[in-house]
Amino acid sequence: MFQTIILIQTIFSTAYINNLLSTYGYFGLFGMMALEGASLPIPSEVIVPIAGYLAAKGIFNFYIAAIAILAGNMLGVVIDYVIGYVIGKDVVYKHLHLFHIKKESIDAFDEWFNRNGGFAVFVSRMIPVLRGIISFPAGFARMPFKKFFIYSLVGSAIWDILLMLFGYYLLSSNNLYIAMSAVAFLALILYVIYRIAVKKTRK
């Protein structure tokens, strides 16, 4: 699955997303984050830092952009939760290809959720690639919506603000070396977090 995400991230190049956000503004930001929150392979790791960069350049208002990002993200998260809650595991498993998710990934997160509950939801919102998957197990288990929403909101807010600050302060640097080093460092950190998370959930 990670290879699929890398491919999508390549397609959604920095220049393309930059152009998209510059054209459609906050609505484009909200829409892309809603798709990302609904487990579609849209990279928040690319979108949110660019939003921070555009805020630093005065194209976006930092706070309005942050609200659009979080609101879109939560819409997508709730959609997946409702799908899991209402439709159930059997039907969702038959259509995982629509989300580019493997059954093994859902099984691992389902088991991890059963062991950790709300903590699993909170932590998962800060794990690259896997952050959308946890909504399904929470829905399957019929976790109380208020609890699910609060854990998701807090975890997503932390993740989104950190990525926005990264874009705001580092990507906007006029020093090309600093900007490129920051991107490389972020990519490395995200990959390490992803690998550790996968290992933990499959134990």
Q: What is the pLDDT of residue 170?
A: 76
DSSP string, 4-53: HHHHHHHHS-HHHHHHHHHHHHHHHHHHHHHHHHTT-S--HHHHHHHHHH
Q: What is the pLDDT of residue 62?
A: 94
Answer for the pair 29, 72: CB distance below 8 angstroms, yes or no: yes
Q: What is the mean pLDDT of each run of 10 residues along the chain (203 residues)?
A: 44 63 85 87 81 88 95 94 85 69 70 75 79 82 90 91 85 62 65 61 54
Residue spans per domain, the chain: 2-201
Structure tokens at 151: 């854990």
Residue 108, Cβ density class (10 Å: 0-12 exposed, 13-18 middle, ≥19 buried): buried
Q: What is the pLDDT of residue 13?
A: 54
Distances, alpha carbon 156 to alpha carbons 82, 174, 177, in Å: 18, 29, 30
